[in-house]
Amino acid sequence: MYDVIVVGGGISGSMAAIASSRAGAKTLLIERYGFLGGMLTAAGVGPMMTFHVGQKQVIQGIPGELIDRLQAKGKSPGHVVDTIGYTYTVTPFDAEGLKYELESMLLESGGELLYHTHLVDVKVEEGRIQEILVLNRGGLQNLRAKVFIDATGNADLSTLAGVPCVKGRPEDGAMQPMTMNMKMTHVDIEAIRRYIKECPEEFPYLEGNTDIIDESSVLSVSGFAKTLEKGLETGELTFKIEGILFFETNNPGEVIVNTTRMYGYDPTDPWSFSKAEIEGRRQAMELEKFFRKRVKGFENAVLVYTGPEVGVRSSRQIQGEYVLTIEDITKSKKFADVIAHGGYPVDIHSPDGEEEVITETMHLSKNAMYSVPYHSLVNSHVTNIITVGRCISATFEAQGAIRVTPMAGAIGHAGGVAAALAAKQEGNVLRISIPTLQQILKEQGAYLEVE
Ligand SMILES: Cc1cc2nc3c(=O)[nH]c(=O)nc-3n(C[C@H](O)[C@H](O)[C@H](O)COP(=O)(O)OP(=O)(O)OC[C@H]3O[C@@H](n4cnc5c(N)ncnc54)[C@H](O)[C@@H]3O)c2cc1C
């Protein structure tokens, strides 16, 4: 019998398990792959963005410590200026370094790890999860804990336990497009830097401020507008593309290309999800050919990795005790039960490929900091589950802001401490002391502005 079982070892689940274990709970993390990191390692997502609001680092605690450790080992340059100018800072990292560091932090905390293990079913009695059924090479097994954390990204555990969830836009349920990220090596970064200066019209997003690229040793690029237009005109590119977007990693000549777009698929429907994988791979092959032929700096580039799973931006959101709204984000609403802060803007990739999805009412003012309340992680149907990461209780629009890695990590950190606290009492996550939760979070290094 465990105090806390965390299902899913993405950034949120890893942070939750480390925090829970550090807070004194006997903790097990189960993960279906043989490594941690979720989207960041399985889907090649990066860089992390953003830990900052202006100059202030508002995401600290265990996620902050992770970056310090990566940086000390040369696996991340730390927080650097975003050369696209979209947000304050970005945090590149090496994916293999991340896998190792997350695993080390969890094991050092005393937490246990069970890899290659899928959640299959849940036994709920009187509003409490009694046990979960998992499948691995040892067959089917039951695992018991006082408190469970759902860190599956898609709210799989919450759904199986009967927690109500919603998907996508309220009007039609459409979700953000999926993306098969492509890791490409042998990219001539210096040639791209020169090209940005020589052809600023290719990079309208910078509005002529091409000097911003000198402010960081690591390049983030959104543009090649004319190159893209030509590719679409000639038929070399056959799918809707918002723009060519890529990010240099911590490794020389390596970039993450975030440019494929799979519209209209549902990641919670296995048949639809499989079709998205197939379409993603087709687009990736098409892009590799196009990049090598047409995109400056990619003449000798090689596509080396697309990962075991296509990237999912949004799917299910639990309907928790509190649903975080776009007004809470844009008006910087303060919550008595605040557990994390963020400054990343609302970033919604249109579900149907239309350009404008961010309306005036969704804009954040500069240096605006918003808050996430604990009651968006818990629900009134099942009393011993905490949901963390990108599938917490938030509207489609609010999720567009809080869905990114540093925030998912900070939410995971808080969920882990809360679960450990609940496990010490009667296991009811709705009855923990919020001031105690906030106090322990602060002791574990989290940045919190509590009223
Ligand atoms: C294409 C794309 C680009 C992005 N770009 C950025 C970016 O540039 N910067 C940024 O900061 N964020 C970015 N994000 C967002 C960010 O990567 C994620 O939102 C964040 O990683 C979510 O973390 P999570 O822990 O909630 O979920 P996930 O990372 O999805 O982790 C879920 C984990 O649970 C495991 N799991 C799932 N189901 C089961 C099950 N049934 N049994 C056992 N294990 C299970 C999975 O294997 C996985 O390890 C991007 C996302 C996508 C898809």
Q: What is the pLDDT of residues 104-141, one digit of tens each?
A: 999 999 999 999 999 999 999 999 999 999 999 999 99
* Residue range 51-66, pLDDT digits in tens: 999 999 999 999 999 9
Question: Which atom belonging to ligand 1 lies closest to the Cα atom of 31?
Answer: 44
Question: What is the whole-number distance in angstroms between the Cα of residue 11 and the centre of ligand 1?
Answer: 7
Q: What is the pLDDT of residue 114?
A: 98
Mean per-residue pLDDT over the chain, rounded: 95
- Per the CB < 8 A criterion, the answer to whether 62 and 413 are in contact is yes
Give the atom of ligand 1 at the shortest distance from the alpha carbon of 50. 11
Contact 37, 98 (CB under 8 A): yes
In the reported structure, the alpha carbon of residue 156 is separated from the centroid of ligand 1 by a whole-number distance in angstroms of 13
pLDDT at 311 > cutoff 80? yes
Summarize the confidence of residues 224-248 as an average pLDDT: 93
Angle between helices 61-72 and 11-22 (to 10 degrees): 100
- C-alpha of residue 307 to centroid of ligand 1, in Å: 13
Q: What is the pLDDT of residue 361?
A: 76
Q: Is residue 105 within 8 Å of 21, Cβ to Cβ?
A: no
Cα-to-centroid distance, 98 and ligand 1 (Å): 14
Q: Give distance in angstroms: CA of 391 to centre of ligand 1.
A: 10
**What is the predicted pLDDT for the residue at 450?**
84
Atom of ligand 1 nearest to the CA of 134: 42
> Which tokens go with 63?
């996620």
Ligand 1 atom index nearest CA of 407: 11
Side-chain-facing half-sphere of 208: CA atoms under 13 Å: 0
Among 102, 134, 404, which residue has the most ligand 1 atoms within 8 Å of its CB, making it the best to mutate?
404
Give the residue, out of 152, 250, 273, 346, with the most ligand 1 atoms within 8 A of its beta carbon, to mutate for a pocket test.
152
Q: How far, in Å, CA of 287 to CA of 444, rounded?
A: 44
Residue 426 CA to ligand 1 center (angstroms) comes to 31
Which residue minimizes the CA distance to atom 7 of ligand 1?
A: 46
Tokens representing residue 375 in the block: 């009651």
* pLDDT confidence band for 85 (50 / 70 / 90): confident
Q: What is the pLDDT of residue 364?
A: 87
For 354-390, what is each residue's pLDDT tens digit?
766 777 778 888 899 999 999 999 999 999 999 999 9
Task: Give the pLDDT band (50/70/90) at residue 243.
Answer: confident
User: 2-173+314-443 maps to which CATH number?
Assistant: 3.50.50.60
Query: Quick one: average pLDDT of 238-254?
Result: 91
Report the nearest atom of ligand 1 relative to the CA of 344: 11
Rounded to an integer, what distance in angstroms lies between the CA atom of residue 45 and that of residue 256?
A: 7
Q: Which ligand 1 atom is at minimum distance from the Cα of 38?
A: 49
For ligand 1, the distance from its centroid to the CA atom of residue 153, given in whole angstroms, is: 6
Quick one: how far is CA 383 from the chain centroid?
Answer: 26
Looking at residue 52, its pLDDT comes to 97
pLDDT at 382: 98
Residues 363 and 346: their CA atoms lie apart, in Å, by 7
Q: For residues 26-34, give the mean pLDDT.
A: 98
Find the 9 Cα to ligand 1 centroid distance in Å.
9
Between 450 and 339, the more confident residue is 339
Average pLDDT over every residue of 151-159: 98
Q: To the nearest whole percent, how much of the chain has pLDDT over 70?
A: 100
- Residues at CB less than 6 angstroms from ligand 1: 7-13, 30-33, 38-40, 42-43, 45-49, 118-119, 151-153, 156, 179, 181, 258, 311-313, 389-390, 403-405, 408
**Beta partners for residue 2, in sequence order:** 145
Report which of residues 351 and 11 the model is more confident about.
Answer: 11
Give the position, in ligand 1's atom list, of the atom nearest the Cα of 8: 34
Q: What is the mean pLDDT of residues 35-51?
A: 96
Work out whether strand 385-387 and strand 139-150 pair parallel, antiparallel, or are unpaired: parallel
Distance from the CA of 8 to the center of ligand 1, in angstroms?
Answer: 9
Structure-token pair, residue 344: 């990343």
Span 393-403, pLDDT tens digits: 999 999 999 99
Domains of the chain, by residue range, sit at 2-173+314-443, 182-305
Q: How far is the CA of 347 from the centre of ligand 1 (A)?
A: 16
What integer pLDDT is reported at residue 40 of this predicted model? 97
CA distance 264 to 272: 9
